[in-house]
Structure 1
């Protein structure tokens, strides 16, 4: 047992409140970049844009949903793209997604260093890093 084990702490564990998944992932964008977001998240990735609640719409940004994933793009005045931090997004048909990204002008980097997963990295139109993964048993290696 380590000093961080539950036996040595009265802190709650994730079993105490049962994580149920992510509601959304938020990425930062610069002011006025909503159209670039629509081109990438809506156009290239084919996600549906969601209507933001009026009080939040006044802040700028935009929201998208596709499959079980929701992405919120929020305005940050002194924006800097996330070059290391990133969402890891599970997908089906990773080779098809890679081809779609490349056809949309986005460089794709394949990286099979994650055991049990095929994965690619790409960047959105604002330079935010994105990781897309698919279990190896569900797709052949490209």
Structure 2
């Protein structure tokens, strides 16, 4: 029997001092709600967001290196609307191989991390 029943959060790394860029991209452009970090962790820097029932943590990494292969895939309700918003902000969209039952594309966050957006087809 498995004790696992879900994912609490996903963490992406970012370089020191990049919190405002994270707030702009994940908060203002993507519309995720910023949530407070616990006070004992706030001193590390970074910023946290609510994403549906899960959280996205942007953590500061001293010797930062962008994640190019491992990546989060966010489920969205309207991929076409999101694409319009991203293009309006001059964010490049990367199409990929079709995935049965879903439409999807990738972007890079302001730090070069790969992010997938996915909309399920009925």
TM over 0.5, shorter chain = yes
Distance 1:22 1:99 in 2: 29
Name the counterpart of 1:43: 28
Equivalent residues, number = 122
Name the counterpart of 1:90: 75
Shift of 1:22: 1.0
Name the counterpart of 2:114: 129
Shift of 1:99: 1.1
Task: Select between 70-79 and 97-106 the one with higher mean Cα deviation.
Answer: 97-106
Larger relative contact order (Cα-Cα within 8 Å, sequence gap ≥ 6): 2
- The structure with the larger Rg is 1
Shift of 1:29: 0.6
- CA separation of 1:104 and 1:90: change in aligned 2, threshold 3 A: same
Shift of 1:47: 0.8
Unmatched segments (≥5 aa) in structure 1: 1-15, 138-142
Name the counterpart of 1:77: 62
Distance 1:92 1:69 in 2: 16
TM-score, structure 1 normalization: 0.81
Name the counterpart of 1:119: 104
Shift of 1:112: 4.8
Unmatched segments (≥5 aa) in structure 2: none
Among 61, 70, 73, the residue aligned to 2:46:
61
Alignment of 1:32 with 2:17, yes or no, is yes
Alpha carbons 1:25, 1:87 under 8 Å: kept: yes
Higher helix share: 1
Distance 2:18 2:71 in 1: 19
Distance 1:66 1:89 in 2: 8
